[in-house]
């Protein structure tokens, strides 16, 4: 854990860059839940102001810290009242899936923007390659830093969106994947599992904190990222 924190704070500009990205990614995730529920007939999130991208309305302190330290976490859940849905079971599943799906789509957009930005920089000569190395085509330190951190912003937006989307698809309470998976279980079994939601959440936190889940989660994230990079690579301009 100490090494993780040392790496996190070793680059202050990178830390400052992560702050707006994490706030934006978490807010978009929760707003997507609320908007999907609203479109399905539940006005609860809208009435509570949770369709906003204002991070103050969405952030959970522990989940936000987890995003900084591990790259995956959560925000304060958007309230959803299934009684407004024509089909409560599937309405809950769709609303739960909206957050991770939004993150994955936004992640793809972030990767596209990162590649497009780099493409423009190389075409304009502000970045060029020689002998297998990348060089700046300008002597301006300000411009070099601007190019570097703009590209990093897009790439972080891509990486953290994918991480959050994949993490929340894990079918374990209280993550979104559980709301999707448990929807297809018999009601009796569903409520039996949900009785232990808080215990399962503690076990999940311990597993993350002790690093037991790092390898499978990062493998899943890497798999999705490779797929997205392959898709973006099919775009002719790249």
> What is the DSSP secondary-structure string of the chain?
-HHHHHHHHS-HHHHHHHHHHHHHHHHHHHHHHHHHHHHTT--HHHHTTTTS--GGGT--HHHHHHHHHHS----PPPP--GGGSSSHHHHHHHHHHHHHHHHHHHHHHHHHHHHHHHHHHHHTTSEEEETTEEEES---HHHHHHHHHHHHHHHHHHHHHHHHHHHHTSSSTTSHHHHHHGGGS-HHHHHHHHTTHHHHHHHHHHHHHTTTTHHHHHHHHHHHHHHHHHHHHTSTT-
Asked about 129 being catalytic, the answer comes back as: no
Residues 237 and 161: their CA atoms lie apart, in Å, by 24
> Do 136 and 126 meet the contact criterion of CB atoms below 8 Å apart?
yes
Q: Which of 30, 129, 197, 229 is catalytic?
A: 30
The tokens for 101 are 């799906």
Please identify every residue annotated as catalytic.
30
């Amino acid at each position: 854990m100490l090494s993780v924190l040392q790496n996190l704070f070793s680059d202050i500009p990178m830390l400052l860059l992560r702050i707006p990205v994490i706030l934006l990614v978490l807010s978009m995730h929760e707003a997507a839940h609320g908007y999907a529920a609203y479109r399905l007939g539940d006005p609860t999130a809208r009435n509570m102001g949770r369709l906003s991208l204002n991070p103050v309305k969405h952030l959970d302190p522990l989940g936000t810290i987890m995003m900084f330290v591990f790259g995956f976490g959560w925000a304060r859940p958007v309230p959803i009242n299934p009684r407004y849905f024509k089909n409560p079971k599937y309405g809950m599943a769709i609303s739960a899936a909206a957050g991770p799906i939004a993150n994955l789509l936004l992640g793809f957009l972030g990767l596209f923007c990162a590649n497009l930005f780099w493409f423009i920089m190389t075409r304009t000569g502000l970045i060029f390659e020689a002998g297998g190395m990348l060089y700046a085509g300008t002597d301006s330190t300000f411009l070099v830093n601007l190019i570097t951190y703009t590209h990093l912003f897009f790439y972080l937006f891509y990486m953290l969106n994918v991480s959050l989307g994949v993490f929340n698809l894990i079918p374990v309470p209280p993550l979104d994947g559980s709301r999707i998976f448990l929807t297809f279980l018999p009601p009796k079994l569903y409520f039996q599992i949900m009785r232990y939601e808080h215990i399962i959440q503690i076990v999940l936190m311990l597993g993350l904190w002790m690093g037991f889940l790092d390898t499978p989660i990062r493998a899943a994230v890497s798999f999705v990222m490779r797929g997205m990079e392959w898709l973006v690579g099919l775009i002719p301009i790249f």
